[in-house]
Chain A
Amino acid sequence: MREKFIQILLASAASASVIIMIGIVFSLLGETAGFFKEVTIKEFLTETRWTPLFTPAHYGILPLVCGTALVTLIAVMVAAPVGLASALYLSEYAPDSLRRVVKPVLEILAGIPSIVYGYFALTFVTPIIRSVFPEANVFNALSAGIVMGIMLIPMVSSLSEDAMMSVPNSLREAAYALGATKLEVSCKVVLPAATSGIVASFILAISRAIGETMIVALAAGSTPKLTFNPLESIQTMTAFIVQVLLGDAPFGSIEYKSVYAVASVLFAMTLSLNIVGTLIVRRYREVY
């Protein structure tokens, strides 16, 4: 009887999250459909201006996608090499004692709220960038991208290190016995054997970068622009959503609905990245 009760309780908790998830998707799709009654999909996807808050309003999502892509690219260019190098160091070079200290510290770092990073970008990194490139805008993609990359380093490092640690020692021994140096063991045995886990960590990092909001809202600006100049002020999809929701777009207005259209695109992008990431992890669960 009691067993039964607990079972029902747990089952309803589990189904609640699924139901809420479905609810979110439906409301997203509903409002998005409303948006596309007023704006054609063709305009949405091909128009190069995004100015829903001005007249004449243009609803081309490309500038927002471009802004997101730019910041994400910069973030990954920071997080991937640094995260990978630190994972390789931790898994292959660091003594056990050091690893036992660093690993939890990394996990704590990964838990710092992103608004802290956003503030750090605006007050610390941006001034440095502007002293090197005086032409840089106060709000720029570079600062947000770099800091977002820093934020993602612990995640990339920790996940990649897990992948490297799961490469069996027998493979390292095999390579050493063939006269491999430590560097060769790391680069020619451990790295290739851990590729799937490393790629998965990159994909999850990209997915987080795309969905990240606070850093870009604070530091990257609010000027949707089709540019790949990292020193300019841009706007990402997430930052646009925040801007509108914090403003006073009337419920049911086209601006309001445009948020949902952007959110749908965002949702589709991160969802597919997460699926790809999970599939890679599952598909290449190493056999050895």
Chain B
Amino acid sequence: MMERALSIRNLKVSYKDREVLKGIDLDIYKNKITAIIGPSGCGKSTLLRCMNRMIDIVEGAKVSGEVFFGGENIYAPGVDPVKIRFKIGMVFQKPNPFPKSIFENVAFGLKINGYTGDIPQMVEKSLRWAGLWEEVKDRLKDDAYVLSGGQQQRLCIARALALEPEVLLLDEPCSALDPVSTLRIEELLLNLKERLTIVIVTHNIQQAARIADYTAFLLDGNLVEFGETSSMFTVPKDKRTEDFITGRFG
């Protein structure tokens, strides 16, 4: 039996009174890449945000169900969401570096969490993990906005990696990037999975096929199918999955 990084049980989410996740059960395996696919509006981002309690900051969102992380339900009363996010990092659709220097961007999480180690060293390590070090090592003091979109997104990945999270959640991280930058990030994620667990939301089915070990297909707030990417893409069990991955659908 493979080890699980996260176990999601009967997860329901509604915004105001509209239910957008209707009881999701899903396991995320350790040191694997899991892709979440599905048509736009089906609840992929919502599901991802539930995995590190980023859903808490969305006004009007109500969550029920359980998400187990290291044996603990992160929605149990008394759990501090700040501590959860510290261990489960997140990268967003649009690169969102802070209006600070490259160095300060990566150091931000370390500083606010009272990191006692050597910050410059950790910044360098994180930038290396994100495959950005060689490109920025001579201009760490420059504003992060001088970087290209792809570099900014890798900076955001480095920023998340600096906290050495156990899980990294990425919400369509390449949707704003060109194909070359996209490939670089995919490569990077493949290299990172020995170090942590990765969950990536993508609207790009080829991307899921290229990098994901497991894929979850979400439709209208329900998990339609979950399995190893290779088998799901060759012999989908559900007709709707087949329609979606063959592009006959949304």
Residue ID in chain B nearest A184 by CB atoms: B112
Tell whether A193 pairs with B109 under 8 Å between CB atoms, given A173-B54, A177-B90: no
Query: A179 touching B54 by the CB < 8 A rule?
Result: no
Query: A192 touching B100 by the CB < 8 A rule?
Result: yes
Residue B4 lies at the interface, judged by CB distance under 8 Å to chain A: no
A95 to B59, CA, bound (A): 9
Q: Which of B129-137, B156-164, B182-190, B210-218 contacts A (4 or more CB under 8 A)?
A: B156-164
Query: A179 touching B96 by the CB < 8 A rule?
Result: no
Tell whether A179 pairs with B98 under 8 Å between CB atoms, given A96-B59, A170-B92, A174-B156: no
Contact of B86 among A179, A286, A288 (CB under 8 A): A179
Query: A176 touching B57 by the CB < 8 A rule?
Result: yes
Min distance, Cβ A237 to any Cβ of chain B, angstroms: 39
Query: B99 touching A177 by the CB < 8 A rule?
Result: no
Residue B108 lies at the interface, judged by CB distance under 8 Å to chain A: yes
Which residues of A in the span 152-194 have a Cβ within 8 Å of any Cβ on B? 168, 170-181, 184, 188-189, 192-193
In the complex, 7 of the A-B residue pairs with CB atoms within 8 angstroms, ordered by the A residue number, are A168-B96, A171-B98, A174-B92, A175-B98, A176-B57, A178-B160, A179-B109
Query: B54 touching A177 by the CB < 8 A rule?
Result: yes
Query: A179 touching B99 by the CB < 8 A rule?
Result: no
A173 to B56, CA, bound (A): 11
Which residues of A in the span 249-288 have a Cβ within 8 Å of any Cβ on B? 286-288
From DSSP, what is the main secondary structure of chain A's interface residues?
helix
Q: Which residues of A contact B160 (CB under 8 A)?
A: 177-178
Q: Mark B59-82, 1 if CB is under 8 A from A, else 0.
A: 100000000000000000000001
Which residues of A in the span 229-248 have a Cβ within 8 Å of any Cβ on B? none
The count of chain B contact residues (Cβ–Cβ below 8 Å) is 26
Q: Which residues of B contact A171 (CB under 8 A)?
A: 96, 98-99
Contact of B89 among A96, A172, A173, A178 (CB under 8 A): A178
Query: A178 touching B96 by the CB < 8 A rule?
Result: no
Query: B85 touching A178 by the CB < 8 A rule?
Result: yes
Contact of B98 among A95, A96, A189, A287 (CB under 8 A): A189
Query: A286 touching B92 by the CB < 8 A rule?
Result: no
Q: Mark B90-134, 1 if CB is under 8 A from A, else 0.
A: 101010111110000000110011000000000000000000000
Q: Mark B146-160, 1 if CB is under 8 A from A, else 0.
A: 000000000010011
Residue B145 lies at the interface, judged by CB distance under 8 Å to chain A: yes
Q: Which residues of A contact B92 (CB under 8 A)?
A: 170, 173-174, 177
Q: Which residues of B contact A172 (CB under 8 A)?
A: 57
Q: 6 shortest A-B CB distances, which residue pairs? A: A179-B86, A178-B109, A177-B90, A170-B96, A174-B96, A179-B85
Query: B54 touching A176 by the CB < 8 A rule?
Result: yes
A115 to B108, CA, bound (A): 48
Residue B83 lies at the interface, judged by CB distance under 8 Å to chain A: yes
Min distance, Cβ B87 to any Cβ of chain A, angstroms: 8
Q: Which residues of A contact B82 (CB under 8 A)?
A: 179-181
A174 to B94, CA, bound (A): 11
Residue B52 lies at the interface, judged by CB distance under 8 Å to chain A: yes
Query: A177 touching B85 by the CB < 8 A rule?
Result: yes
A42 to B205, CA, bound (A): 79
A189 to B57, CA, bound (A): 16
Q: Which residues of A contact B108 (CB under 8 A)?
A: 175, 178, 188
Query: A173 touching B99 by the CB < 8 A rule?
Result: no
Residue ID in chain A nearest B89 by CB atoms: A177
Q: Which residues of A contact B89 (CB under 8 A)?
A: 177-178
Query: B83 touching A178 by the CB < 8 A rule?
Result: no
Query: A287 touching B96 by the CB < 8 A rule?
Result: no
A180 to B86, CA, bound (A): 8
Residue ID in chain B nearest A174 by CB atoms: B96
Q: Which residues of A contact B59 (CB under 8 A)?
A: 95-96
Tell whether A179 pairs with B100 under 8 Å between CB atoms, given A173-B92, A174-B156, A287-B145: no
Q: Which residues of A contact B86 (CB under 8 A)?
A: 178-179
Query: B99 touching A192 by the CB < 8 A rule?
Result: yes
